[in-house]
Amino acid sequence: MKARDSSGDADGEMLIVDTFTRLIFGEEGRFDAGELSIIDALRRVDQGVAADSHREMGQYLRALGVEEMIQLVARVQAYLAATQGAGPKAVGPAQGRYAGSNSFDR
């Protein structure tokens, strides 16, 4: 598998979707630095999951409709681009309620 590095393109979008999929299916394995940055961005763009465990985040994501998921991926991607100057990057292995809002926290 190639090293993944993106700047808000389709590859970055897929990294976000892949991370969300791991959360949805309850993978308890270690998240790499890129995945952790995506999870942090999710917490920042949706205050409803800010204090959630990974399992609770997965439950929240599982309940989203397709359009809501597309919008959430776009918001996470925009947040990462604005705060990191680029999209998510994968660099290798490495409590609350799930009623989320649909707006940036800033």
**Domain contains 76:** yes
Q: Does residue 106 lie within any of the structural domains?
A: no
pLDDT in tens, 26-74: 987 789 999 999 999 999 999 999 999 999 999 999 999 999 999 999 9
Domain count, the chain: 1
Residue 97 lies in a domain: no
User: Does a structural domain hold residue 44?
Assistant: yes
Distance CA 51, CA 101 (A): 13
pTM of the model: 0.71
Torsion angle of C-alpha atoms 76, 103, 57, 92, degrees rounded to 10 = 10
Closest of 17, 20, 19 to residue 59, by C-alpha:
20
Torsion of CA 37, 92, 4, 31, to 10 degrees: -40
Domain-embedded: residue 30: yes
Residue 33 in any domain: the answer is yes
**CA distances in angstroms from 52 to 6, 42, 46, 85, listed in the order given:** 27, 11, 11, 26
Residue 6 is predicted with a pLDDT of 41
Write out the residue range of the structural domain in which residue 68 sits.
10-84
